[in-house]
Structure 1
Amino acid sequence: MVREGRLLLTRRAGDVYGSGWWALPSGRLEPDEDVVTAAVRELDEELGLRVEQDDVVFVGVTHALPPDSGARIGFGFLVSRWTGEPTIREPELCSALQWCAPDGLPERTLPYTREIVRLHVQGEHFSRPGWPPSIPPHPAVRASGAR
C-alpha cells in the first residue's frame, strides 16, 4: 500500500513470527489460491480494503533465509488504488498501523520487509538474502549456451 510516496506498515502482534516488529501487510496462501488473489484477500481481511486485482502491481520476490527462522518466500506488490480506509480488523495479529517513507522505516522492521522495500526502491525483482553465494556455472555450460 502506497499513499503519497509512503508505505503502510503493520505492527505484528500475538503468537506469530516477528511479533512486535513492523511489516508490510502480508499473509499465507490458501489452497488453490494464486499470490495476487491472496494479496487482495489479505488486504480485505487485515485492513478492510477493497482492491481490484488489476491494481496489484508486482515489485519483486525475496527468498530469505533468516538466521532465526526457516526460509521464507515473500512476494512484494505495490497497491496505490483501493476503496476504504485502512483499519485494524485482526487485533490479535496486528497492533498498529503506520505510514512510512521507504527510506524511513522503523528500526524494528522485519528484515524481509526491508528487503522487499529495497527491491522496490532499487528497481530489482529478486533476491536471496542469507543464502550462500551462488556457484557460477561451469565454463562449458556457459560456452554452449545451455541453461
Structure 2
Amino acid sequence: MPDRHLVDAHVLLVREDQVLLSKRRGDAFDGCWHLPAGKVDAGEDVLSAAAREAWEEVGVRIDPADLAHVHTVHITGSGQEPRFGLFFRAARWDGEPSNREPAKCHGLDWFPVDALPEPMIGYAALGIRALRTGVPFSIHGWS
C-alpha cells in the first residue's frame, strides 16, 4: 500500500436539476460516467485545481470563489491508489461545456441528479447524491 494519499478535485456543474457527466475513455473506467475531475498538482490549492480541471476537460471557466464544498470521500479499490475526493458545486461558470479531451472522454451529457446513468463510477455517485442528502463525508472501497 502506498505511504500517501492522492487528492482529487471533482466539479459538479448543475443546471435545471441536471448534472454534467463525462463518459471515460481509454483507462480502467472506460465507458463509465464520471464528473470533470483530476488530481491536485503540487503547489496548487484544491479550489484552483477544480477550476483548472473544469477548463481542461469541459472548457468552462470557473472562479474558484464560486465553488462550494459538497462532499469528501476517502477512496481505495483494486488497482487504485488511495485518495481523497473533494466534490465542489459551481455556483456559476462561463462557457458552454464541450468535450476538450476526446482521447480520454467518449462524450458529455446532462443527467437528472436523481437518475444517474449506468455504469457510473461509484465514488462519483456518492458526491452527486450528497447534493440531495447533505452527507459531508463517506468512504468507498475500504473493507
Q: Which band: TM-score by shorter chain?
A: 0.7 to 0.9
Distance, in Å, in 1 between the alignment partners of 2:23 and 2:71 is 22
TM-score, normalization by structure 1:
0.83
Structure 1 residues 23, 118: closer, same or farther in 2, change over 3 A?
A: same
1:90 counterpart SS class: coil
Distance, in Å, in 2 between the alignment partners of 1:43 and 1:70 is 22
Distance, in Å, in 2 between the alignment partners of 1:32 and 1:86 is 27
Q: Aligned pair 1:12/2:35, yes or no?
A: no
> Which segments of 5 or more consecutive residues in structure 1 lack a partner in the other structure?
133-147
User: Bigger shift: 59-68 or 46-55?
Assistant: 59-68
1:23-44 Cα shifts (integer Å, max 9, x gaps): 0110111111111000000111
1:55-104 Cα shifts (integer Å, max 9, x gaps): 11110100022346342321101013111100111111111111111111
The CA RMSD measured in Å over matched residues stands at 1.4
> Which segments of 5 or more consecutive residues in structure 2 lack a partner in the other structure?
1-12
More strand, by proportion: 2
2:119 aligned partner, one-letter code:
R
Q: How does 1:109-120 map to 2 (within 5 A)?
A: 109-120=120-131
Larger radius of gyration: 1
The match for 2:67 among 42, 51, 56 is 56
Determine what percentage of the aligned residue pairs are the same residue. Answer: 39
Contact 2:87–2:127, Cα closer than 8 Å, also in 1: yes
Q: Aligned pair 1:2/2:35, yes or no?
A: no
Q: How does 1:1-147 map to 2 (within 5 A)?
A: 1-14=13-26, 16-67=27-78, 69-132=80-143
